[in-house]
Structure formats: structure tokens, C-alpha cells
Amino acid sequence: MKIILGSDHAGLGLKQMLATHVSDRFEIHDVGAFSRESCDYPRIARELTRLVLAEKALGILICGSGIGMSMAANRVKGIRAALCANEHMARMSRRHNGANVLCLGERIIGPDLARAITDAFLDADFDGGRHQRRIDLIDTL
């Protein structure tokens, strides 16, 4: 499976660390940022979400808090981005909500927790059933 990674300047360090962490299990496609020079996170979110949908991949977006990236990503039809602060949130976002994008805040969580959250997200599968019905309802909003 392919994982699409993206960050703004505030999430660059965590993105690079997570790319290394998951590269032995997944093909990685990095959409930027590639430096600490200030950039606009909605542009990164737009490119990542486009690829997640086109390639039926999973995505990870990182900014300072994770809030901006999650807000931008969730504007895109077909994207279910989950801002997660612990492993349970990450696991359940996939199992019950069919999340296809994980959002993290580099200034909020440390590297060990980020790795654990990422693993929980990537290792979980969508449960379907009643949860699909609820996603279908969300899609009608």
C-alpha cells in the first residue's frame, strides 16, 4: 500500500521521522514541504488529498497543531481526515469512521507517541457494517 505524506514547515521534522519509520512497510510519496521555509498548509493538503483519492491510498498530514491540516483536508469530498492525539483515536478513526487521512500536530505530540499513533492508524482496517451506513449519511451532508 502507498502512504502519501505531507506537512507544512511546522510539521517537517515529524514528517521526515515518520517517513523513515514506515518506509520498510509501505511505499512513500512525499508531497512536501521540503524545507522549514514558511508555506501555506492548504496547498499541501490539497495535493495530498488529490493523490489519496486518485490512488486509493492513505495519507498523513502534519502541521504545528494538526488542526489546520484536518480542516483543509476535510473540505474535500471523499476525504475523512482524523486529527488524532492517541492510539485509540487513530485505531477507531479507521475502524469506525473509515478515515483515509491521519492528521498530527508536531508541536502537540512527541516522536514516540507519533510513531505509536501512526502504527495504530496504518494497522487498523475499516469494520464496515453499521459504520458504512453512517459514513454514507455523512456523505449526504
Task: Quote the CA–CA distance of 119 and 78 in Å, as a whole number.
Answer: 23
- List the pLDDT tens digit at each of the 141 positions of the chain: 999 999 999 999 999 999 999 999 999 999 999 999 999 999 999 999 999 999 999 999 999 999 999 999 999 999 999 999 999 999 999 999 999 999 999 999 999 999 999 999 999 999 999 999 999 999 998
SS3 4: strand
Catalytic member of 21, 29, 96, 131:
96
Cell numbers found for residue 52? 489519496
Active site annotation includes 96: yes
Task: Quote the CA–CA distance of 16 and 33 in Å, as a whole number.
Answer: 10
User: 63, 48 in Cβ contact below 8 A?
Assistant: no
Q: In terms of residue numbers, what domain contains 121?
A: 2-139
Annotated binding site for D-ribulose 5-phosphate: 8-9, 64-68, 97, 107, 130, 134
Structural domains of the chain, count: 1
CATH code at position 103 = 3.40.1400.10
Annotated binding site: 8-9, 64-68, 97, 107, 130, 134
Stated pTM of the model:
0.97
